[in-house]
Amino acid sequence: DYTDSTEGALLLENSSTNLLTYSEAFDNSYWIKGGSSALGGFTSPKGDLSAFKLVEDSSTGAHFMYRNITSTTVGNDYSASIFVKKGERDYFVLGTQTSQDAYFNLSTGVIKSSAISSKITALSNGYYICSITWTATSTSESIYIYNSEDGLTRNYTGDGTSGVYIYGAMLEANSFSTSYIPTNGSTVQRAAETCN
Q: Is the pLDDT of residue 3 over 80?
A: no
Least Cα distance to 148 among 45, 42, 36 occurs for: 36
Q: Enter the pTM of the model.
A: 0.92
Sheet of 64-69: strand order equals: 32-34, 64-69, 141-148, 91-96, 101-105, 110-114
pLDDT at 193 over 80: yes
The whole-number pLDDT of residue 44 equals 96
Q: Cα–chain-centroid distance for residue 15?
A: 20
- Residues in contact with 53: Cβ distance below 8 Å, sequence separation at least 6, in sequence order: 38, 39, 40, 42, 87, 163, 164, 165, 166
